[in-house]
């Protein structure tokens, strides 16, 4: 049955919520019918206040916190992007940086967290969690290179851990990408860019099929800007959705990709300023290879939904961050390899226990076999020292249960989840075996009040991050000196966070405003050290911040958005700032779709970032834009990177390195940076059949 929403109330609620939603995203539950950014215009443009507006498959937006957001297909299509990672820039307060070519996972910063490559941000694609526990290059590693951005139909973002389905790695928040396309038929696009970029994309979406039914392939080669930033990849995805009758459905999906890319690392800022290196130069000449296959199926009927998935992963990273600092004779170049096979299952059940109260319960299972290694290699690529050789079997089980209640203008949800992690591993270098089980309980609660053009929301939740497999097989602490080849990143224990958020949303005609304050406490912090390549354990931290956002839709075809996040993150014991994440992040977006014309602008301002050892980064800004025109059979698009042509630091770090051996060796830390994209353009021509 299609939900029926009165136009007056619907317009108010949708504009207040400004593209958020409250239902679980990253689980294997059914893709929920939601009102997204792209459907707001239907409410705002209703000709009569008394008219009943019906949206096929849509339900009124029901946020549980003020900062939840769901972004629809049209908005994503007018977001400047190179890869699917760039679509995550639609999340308020989330910043992504990269010190490798396309294919290496981005570094995420959210709400005062330096989530590195995914340690504090849970990400799901088509209902499958894609964080990689115990990855050789970082716990929770998130590589979205296998996602073709043209078939991402929805992005759902939740900051903090307030919902029961937010599990491992969702300490700062979670993001879910759903695959779908409204453009039916067949199309082939060719993209050419100023970095000698060539990219071909083909999409087949049967005319009579649902949005979720599609097949897409991609092939790309890009020389990149500056030194050693070239990349090439091939990707493919196939998905469909079948209605089984009686409310039942099944949705299988298969994804796969392979990529090769340069790994330029970072550059000492002093070398650039002294004229010893070009701004986008690279001393490291490493590279990387990444491959992945994922298959899964989601299904549901009535109040029961669930899913199964199976994945295979292979990753190789050849890199050097410190030159000749650690090993003056052979150099600090290292090669990391990681291979794993994983499988998982989820199930969720909902039952009305009262006319205003629902009981919700669910369970998750995940198992994985992994092998990883790290070797020091010479400049010629010959291995001369083994740093790591690990084999492990890991398992995760979680159960959750809670109640959801609605009465009048009030809504509330409360419950808890219990997560358990098991590891059985062997360190092949030291001949050490280790195993163990760790478990924790995470209570969650939210309350919301909505009436007219105002909504007030509050939430509390405990997030969690699993221990790394290496922590279970490390060398025992017997008072002897620790060998640098042994894991020193912390105890084999679950890291927990306690977060609260209080916020409000209001609407004034076509203007929607959001304000929220948040606080997060971490019992023990883990910071990624680029010298050792290890998450180093530190004491507890606290984060206090505010988030402001505005969305203005003066016309059905035009939307302007802006958000600002300010956060102060400090260690409990010393009071020193937590390094990495920006204290201030501001974004502005323009999305236009009128007739055959589309356009989009994304502007970003990054405040000075606190770095390790008391250093401070630079304030910077960058603007990207795109424009397009579509006819009956052809489509043309132009994207411009870094419209202002600024030299900007995409990433900044503070550690010691020694690259020029004709200069004195020093162990004093210095600022290093990864160069942001220069001014460049990409032209795309697409033919529709």
Please say whether the beta carbons of 265 and 283 come within 8 A: yes
Higher pLDDT, 253 or 524: 253
How much is the average pLDDT of 188-198? 97
Largest CA distance in the chain: 79
The pLDDT, as a whole number, for residue 115 is 86
Please say whether the beta carbons of 146 and 235 come within 8 A: yes
CB atoms inside a 10 Å sphere around CB 356: 13
Least confident piece of the model among 41-45, 126-130, 220-224? 41-45
Q: What is the pLDDT of residues 529-549, one digit of tens each?
A: 666 566 666 788 999 999 999
Higher pLDDT, 597 or 58: 597
Q: Is the pLDDT of residue 131 over 90?
A: yes
CATH (one of 2.30.30.40, 1.10.3720.10, 2.40.170.20, 1.10.10.60) for 4-688: 2.40.170.20
Q: What is the pLDDT of residues 394-421, one digit of tens each?
A: 999 999 999 999 999 999 999 999 999 9
Q: What is the 3-state secondary structure (H, E, C) of 624-641?
A: EEEEEEECCCEEEEEEEE
The pLDDT, as a whole number, for residue 116 is 87
The pLDDT, as a whole number, for residue 62 is 75
Higher pLDDT, 476 or 339: 339
Q: What is the pLDDT of residues 573-609, one digit of tens each?
A: 899 999 988 999 999 999 999 999 999 999 999 999 9
DSSP string, 520-559: EEESS-EEEETTTTEEEE---EEEEEEEEEEEEEEETTEE
The pLDDT, as a whole number, for residue 535 is 62
Q: What is the pLDDT of residues 614-650, one digit of tens each?
A: 999 999 999 999 999 999 999 999 999 999 999 999 9
The pLDDT, as a whole number, for residue 484 is 38
CA-atom Rg of the chain in angstroms: 24
The encoded tokens of residue 520 equal: 């997060």
Q: For all residues of the chain together, what is the average pLDDT?
A: 88
Distances (CA, A) of 250 to 2, 207, 406, 411: 20, 19, 30, 30
Q: What is the pLDDT of residues 296-314, one digit of tens each?
A: 999 999 899 999 999 999 9
The encoded tokens of residue 220 equal: 């790309």
Nearest to 229, CA basis, from 259, 269, 197, 261: 261
Cβ-proximal residues to 660 (8 Å cutoff; 6+ apart), any chain:
271, 276
Nearest to 169, CA basis, from 96, 127, 118: 118
DSSP string, 559-613: EEEEEEEEEEEEETTT-PBPSSS-SEEEEEEEEEEETTEEEEEEEEEEPPPB-GG
Measured CA to CA, the distance from residue 20 to residue 2 in angstroms comes to 20
Q: What is the pLDDT of residues 490-536, one digit of tens each?
A: 678 899 999 999 999 999 999 999 999 999 999 887 676 666 566 66
Q: Tokens 């997030």 sit at which residue?
A: 463
């Amino acid at each position: 049955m299609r939900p029926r929403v009165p136009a007056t109330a619907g317009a108010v609620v949708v504009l207040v919520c400004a593209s958020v939603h409250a239902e679980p995203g990253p689980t294997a539950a059914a893709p929920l019918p939601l009102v997204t950014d792209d459907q707001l215009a239907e409410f705002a443009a209703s000709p009569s206040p008394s008219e009943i507006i019906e949206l096929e498959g849509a339900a009124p937006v029901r946020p549980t916190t003020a900062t939840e957001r769901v972004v629809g297909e049209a908005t994503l299509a007018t977001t400047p992007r190179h890869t699917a990672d760039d679509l995550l820039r639609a999340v308020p307060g989330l910043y992504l940086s990269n010190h490798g070519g396309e294919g290496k996972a981005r570094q995420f910063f959210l709400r005062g967290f330096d989530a590195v490559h995914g340690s504090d941000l849970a990400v799901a694609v088509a209902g499958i969690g894609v964080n990689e526990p115990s990855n050789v290059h970082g716990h929770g590693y998130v590589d979205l290179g296998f996602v073709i951005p043209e078939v991402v139909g929805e992005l759902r973002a939740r900051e903090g851990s307030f919902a029961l389905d937010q599990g491992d790695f969702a300490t700062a928040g979670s993001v879910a990408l759903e695959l779908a396309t409204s453009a039916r038929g067949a199309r082939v696009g060719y993209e050419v860019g100023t970095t000698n970029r060539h990219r071909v994309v083909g999409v087949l979406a049967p005319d009579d099929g649902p949005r979720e039914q599609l097949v897409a392939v991609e092939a790309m080669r890009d020389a990149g800007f500056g030194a050693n930033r070239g990349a090439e990849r091939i990707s493919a995805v196939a998905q469909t959705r079948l209605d089984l009758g009686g409310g039942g459905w099944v949705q299988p999906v298969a994804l796969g990709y392979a990529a090769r890319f340069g790994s330029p690392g970072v550059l000492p800022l002093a070398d650039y300023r002294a004229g010893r290196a070009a701004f986008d130069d690279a001393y490291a000449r490493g590279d990387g290879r990444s491959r992945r296959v994922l298959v899964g199926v989601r299904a549901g009927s009535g109040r029961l939904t669930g899913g199964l998935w199976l994945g295979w992963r292979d990753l190789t990273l050849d890199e050097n961050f410190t030159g000749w600092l650690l090993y003056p004779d052979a150099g600090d170049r290292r090669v990391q390899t990681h291979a794993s096979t994983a499988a998982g299952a989820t199930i969720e059940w909902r039952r009305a226990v009262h006319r205003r109260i629902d009981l919700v319960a669910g369970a998750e299972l995940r198992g994985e076999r992994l092998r990883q290694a790290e070797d020091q290699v010479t400049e010629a690529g010959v291995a001369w020292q083994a740093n790591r050789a690990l084999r492990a079997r890991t398992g995760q089980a979680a159960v959750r249960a809670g109640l959801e209640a609605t009465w009048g203008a009030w809504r509330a949800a409360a419950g808890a989840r219990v997560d358990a992690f098991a590891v059985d591993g062997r360190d092949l270098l030291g001949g050490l075996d280790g195993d163990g089980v760790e478990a924790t309980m995470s209570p969650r609660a939210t309350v919301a009040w909505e009436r007219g053009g105002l909504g007030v929301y509050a939430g509390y939740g405990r997030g969690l991050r699993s221990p790394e497999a290496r922590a279970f097989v490390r060398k025992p602490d017997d008072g002897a000196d620790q060998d640098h080849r042994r894991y020193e990143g912390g105890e084999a224990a679950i890291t927990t966070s306690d977060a609260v958020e209080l916020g409000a949303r209001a609407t004034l005609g076509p203007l929607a405003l959001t304000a929220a304050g948040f606080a997060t406490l971490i019992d023990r912090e883990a910071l990624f050290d680029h010298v050792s390549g290890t998450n180093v354990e530190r004491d507890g931290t606290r984060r206090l911040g505010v988030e402001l956002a505005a969305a203005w839709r003066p016309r059905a075809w035009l939307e302007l958005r802006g958000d600002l996040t300010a956060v102060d993150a400090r260690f409990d014991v010393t009071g020193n700032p937590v390094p990495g994440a920006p204290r201030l992040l501001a974004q502005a977006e323009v999305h236009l779709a009128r007739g055959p014309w589309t356009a989009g602008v994304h502007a970003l301002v990054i405040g000075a970032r606190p770095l390790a050892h008391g250093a401070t980064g630079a304030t910077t800004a960058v603007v990207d834009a795109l424009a397009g025109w579509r006819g009956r059979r052809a489509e043309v698009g132009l994207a411009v990177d870094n419209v202002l042509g600024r030299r900007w630091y995409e990433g900044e770090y503070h550690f010691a390195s020694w690259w020029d051996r004709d200069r004195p060796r020093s162990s004093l830390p210095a600022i290093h940076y990864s160069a942001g994209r220069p001014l460049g353009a990409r032209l795309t021509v697409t033919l529709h059949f």
